[in-house]
Amino acid sequence: MIKSAIAGTAVLALAAGFIFGIDIFSYGRTLCTNAREAVRSGISPEFELDTIRSEIDRLMPDIVRHKKIVAEQIVDVRGLEGAIAEKEASLQSQKSAVLALRSFLDSDRATYVYRYVSYSREEVETDLADRFEAFRTLEDSVARDNRILSAQNQTLRANRQKLDSMLDRKQELAVDVAQLQARLKQIQATEAVHAVEVDDSLLNRVEEMIRNLNHSLDVREAMLETEGHVQGRIPVEEPDFRTNDLITEIDQHFGFDSGRTAVAEFTGNGS
């Protein structure tokens, strides 16, 4: 099965090479480039931000390891400083002893008494030589430890600077991500507003409904206005109806008293 697939692939490759010639490599590169661009264009900004956050989180193990290295170096430096301090105190004590024995030999005597104990000159010289050798050995050890301490301090300073730089850069990256997040939200909000589309047909339908309703209300108002204008009804409510002149003319024609009203005679309530 696998051999058949390999053989088929080889045949296709040979056929493509025969058809396209040397241009097949250019076509292949273009196809790969287009494929990469298509994949990248399909990645959302939200996914890219999540990827960036994941990459930033991947920095933490390295930072933690570096913190541990710096902490161990701090402990080593403090321990070496304590050891050097103890050696220097012992060095001062040995120096005092050497100088004290040296002062004994300034006088040319065969014996020396110290705290009620007698020592020969040879014993003092031997003890002085041993003490001076031990002092020089300790002195060399202190000098060597100081050189080591200086190198350790130099390394510690460099590692601290590197750690501070790593922490600062991580903080800057976090700020950059926060700014990108805020910018993305702003763009998304703007896109959401621009994406809102009002249905023109719905707007037209609502406007038509409003026009129809206004027309219906206009018709009802017109009907109310014309209720008083039924044929045969006297339009007494009209302001230009000359009521006083007509009543006077009627009274004079029929010989009514001037105190009667046209309305009273007309309704039949007078004598």
Domain boundary among 131, 150, 184: 184
Question: Percent of the chain, pLDDT > 70?
Answer: 70
Is 238 within a domain? no
Task: Work out how many domains the chain is built from and give that number.
Answer: 2
Is 28 within a domain? yes
Is 241 within a domain? no
pTM above 0.75, yes or no: no
Shared-domain flag, residues 69 and 98: yes
Name the most confidently modeled range: 47-56, 107-116, 132-141: 132-141
Confidence label for 269 from pLDDT (cuts 50, 70 and 90): very low
Shared-domain flag, residues 16 and 140: no
Least confident of 38-42, 67-71, 171-175: 38-42
Shared-domain flag, residues 178 and 51: yes
Q: Could you tell me the two tokens for 233?
A: 């009804």
Is 63 within a domain? yes
Does the pLDDT at position 233 exceed 60? no
What length does the chain have?
271
Query: Half-sphere exposure (CA, 13 Å, Cβ side) for 28?
Result: 9
pLDDT of residue 262: 45
Shared-domain flag, residues 89 and 29: no
The torsion angle over the Cα atoms of residues 150, 154, 160 and 166, rounded to 10 degrees, is -160
Is 57 within a domain? yes
Confidence label for 58 from pLDDT (cuts 50, 70 and 90): confident
Is 116 within a domain? yes
Shared-domain flag, residues 159 and 74: yes
pLDDT of residue 71: 95
Alpha carbons 224 and 227: distance in angstroms, whole number? 5
Range of the domain at 30: 10-42
Alpha carbons 58 and 64: distance in angstroms, whole number? 11
Does the pLDDT at position 119 exceed 60? yes
Shared-domain flag, residues 178 and 65: yes
**Could you tell me which residue, 113 or 267, shows the higher pLDDT?**
113
Name the most confidently modeled range: 104-113, 160-169, 177-186, 235-244: 160-169
pLDDT of residue 33: 53
Alpha carbons 121 and 106: distance in angstroms, whole number? 11
Is 259 within a domain? no
Shared-domain flag, residues 26 and 138: no
